[in-house]
Amino acid sequence: MRFSCVTCAYIFPIKRCVSYKIYPKLKALDDVLGGSAAWKNVDAIDEPCPKCSHPRAYFMQVQTRSADEPMTVFYKCCSPTCGHRWKE
């Protein structure tokens, strides 16, 4: 195996294969949604929490994909002790 230049006669022999993967660090969901301040002025609906079964949850709609796709609905449990977050 070797690398060769297409414009000149340079040839570099490859002695060993070196490969590695670097995965980018993803942002936390709160940073994408606007942090904890984004949940201050949201409405609540009758949606049971899957974690604690509290009957109400705050909700927020965010366009996370292209404009022709439906909006993603994010929920946060209204119970102050739970605060579980999930999306639809």
Say whether 49 counts as a known binding-site residue. Answer: yes
Say whether 5 counts as a known binding-site residue. Answer: yes
Q: Cα–chain-centroid distance for residue 11?
A: 44
Say whether 78 counts as a known binding-site residue. Answer: no
Which residues make beta-bridge pairs with 74?
A: 60, 87
Question: Cα–Cα distance between 79 and 56 in angstroms, integer?
Answer: 8
Pairing of β 11-13 and β 43-45: unpaired
Alpha-helix residue ranges (DSSP H) falling in the chain: 29-33
Query: Which residues are annotated as part of the binding site?
Result: 5, 8, 49, 52, 77, 82
Query: Residue positions in the annotated binding site for Zn(2+)?
Result: 5, 8, 49, 52, 77, 82
